[in-house]
Amino acid sequence: MRAKVYVTPKAGVLDPAGKATERGLHALGFGEVHDVRLGRYITMEVDGDPTDVTARLDDMCRQLLANGVIEDYLFEIGESGVE
């Protein structure tokens, strides 16, 4: 299976990277942009039992991929090899 994990700053947590990027976009004339949030996008191949994969991925996110204190995560599971 191919898993896609998105890690983003939690709602309400200051995101200096998003703030600076938004300011850059405004400076370039993209005034329609607001609330830019910068995160990480992680993809991986996961073997094993498809019934367990959700729980396993959730564990991975909680233990390593996301910092629960300041980040939220979201993941999708798709067909192997498909981005």
Interface ranges with other proteins (CB under 8 A): 9-17, 19-21, 23-24, 27-28, 38, 40, 64, 67, 69-70
In degrees to the nearest 10, what's the CA dihedral of 58, 59, 63, 66?
-10
Min. distance of Cβ 49 from other proteins in angstroms?
25
Judge contact between 56 and 64, C-beta under 8 A: no
Judge contact between 70 and 13, C-beta under 8 A: yes
CA distance 64 to 46: 16
By beta-carbon proximity to other proteins, the closer residue of 23 and 56 is 23
Min. distance of Cβ 53 from other proteins in angstroms?
22
By beta-carbon proximity to other proteins, the closer residue of 51 and 63 is 63
By beta-carbon proximity to other proteins, the closer residue of 55 and 64 is 64
